A and B are shown apart, each in its own frame.
Chain A
Amino acid sequence: MDMTCFQSLLDAYGADPGRWPAGERAAAEALLAADPTAQAARREALALDAALDLLPHPPVPADLAARIAAAAPMRTPRPANNNRPWPMALALAASAALGLWLGVAAGPWAGDATAGDFASLDRQEVAMLAFGPTLDEE
């Protein structure tokens, strides 16, 4: 390992060899042991590590876990198969089939009575027929 690679390690991970990527640690430690320039660079990184270590560990409120555990059952977990592809695919296929049927029914080859029935539907009803009620997604 050359000094440029060693400096890159220090720049990214700091002075503690335990934080260096395992694949590069042995070579970096060998350079550190032999090269005064590497030792000086590590001392600089140590100073920044020491400053970072001044931050205290934020305490977790004692009751936070209990509060979360109490809140969880308020949210009903989705049924296990709700996110699987088949129900969604079936819903899409049904929508496509219904859309096709509506298109045929309202097309130029449809009889007057069918066209009249279709025309009597308002936009909201057509949307309901095509897409069904809105899914209660999270």
Chain B
Amino acid sequence: MQRTQSADDTDDTLIRKLAAGDRTAFPTLLERHLPVIHRLAWRLLGEQTEAEDVAQEAFLRLWNFAPDWRDQGASPRTWLYRVAFNLCQDRLRRRRVVFMETVPEVPTDPADSPSAALQDKQRSAKVQAALDALPERQRAALVLSYYEGLSQAEAAAILEIGEEALESLLARGRRKLRELLAAEGRELLGGLG
């Protein structure tokens, strides 16, 4: 039922349309926000299937919540981020993550040649392992701030903390990452230092 053209609508307008029964607003919201929500979940969980599940659940909750949507100081994007972040936290707690003091070994296939592409792949796997080794809130702060490029205010709102607390999480996270990656040798950090 294509009642209106929704591509140019604001997120708030799309939510109101969805609440009024205009289902064409939903694909537009998906197109606009699914990549970032999926990326957030993937970076926090480090696993593709779980990231898809979280992204799907976050959007289905938006669908369900749309009739009750009111201006509550958070944009639909921030709301989605917050829901996805909380879903990720639930999953991480269920995993009973044991935080590591060192980066785990990244398995390599001895049949592979030591090409530049392979080296890049191994280096990025080590960075991912180091990121995964951070406490979850430090990792979330880094993902939201560094990888997603959110403002201090928005990242803090999603984590439901103040901006000073966000800065503290970021600083501790980056410090820990530096330690973990430095232990991996100069190829990861030393080359540009």
Give A contacts to B, CB under 8 Å.
8, 11-14, 19, 21, 43-44, 46-48, 50-52, 54-58, 60-61, 64-65, 67-69, 71-73, 75, 77-80, 82-84, 138
Contact = CB atoms under 8 A, between A and B. Distances in A.
Contacts of B56: 64, 67-68, 71
Contact of A12 (B31, B174, B188): B174
A106 B34 CA distance: 58
Question: Interface size bucket, B side?
Answer: 35 or more
A11 to B, nearest CB: 4
Interface in B34-64: 34-35, 38-39, 42-43, 48, 51-52, 55-56, 59-60, 63-64
Given A50-B192, A58-B38, A64-B52, A14 B66 contact: no
Contacts of B67: 77-80, 82
* 9 cross-chain pairs, A with B, having the tightest CB-CB distances, nearest first: A47-B192, A11-B171, A80-B67, A58-B42, A12-B170, A54-B124, A47-B193, A12-B167, A83-B68
B120 A73 contact: no
B94 interface: no
Interface of B: 19, 23, 26-27, 30-31, 34-35, 38-39, 42-43, 48, 51-52, 55-56, 59-60, 63-64, 66-68, 120, 123-124, 127-128, 131, 142, 145-147, 149, 152, 166-168, 170-171, 174-175, 177-178, 181, 188-193
A6 B16 CA distance: 44
B163 to A, nearest CB: 8
Most chain B CB neighbours (cut-off 10 Å) among A60, A79, A84: A60
B149 to A, nearest CB: 7
Contacts of B178: 48
Most chain B CB neighbours (cut-off 10 Å) among A21, A44, A69: A69
Nearest to B177: A48
Contacts, number: 120
B190 A75 contact: no
Contact of B146 (A19, A71, A73, A84): A19
B193 A54 contact: no
Contacts of B64: 75, 77-78, 138
B170 A64 contact: no
Given A64-B55, A78-B67, A82-B67, 4 more contacts: A12-B145, A68-B30, A69-B26, A75-B64
A19 B174 contact: no
Nearest to A83: B68
A72 B28 CA distance: 14
A68 B59 contact: yes
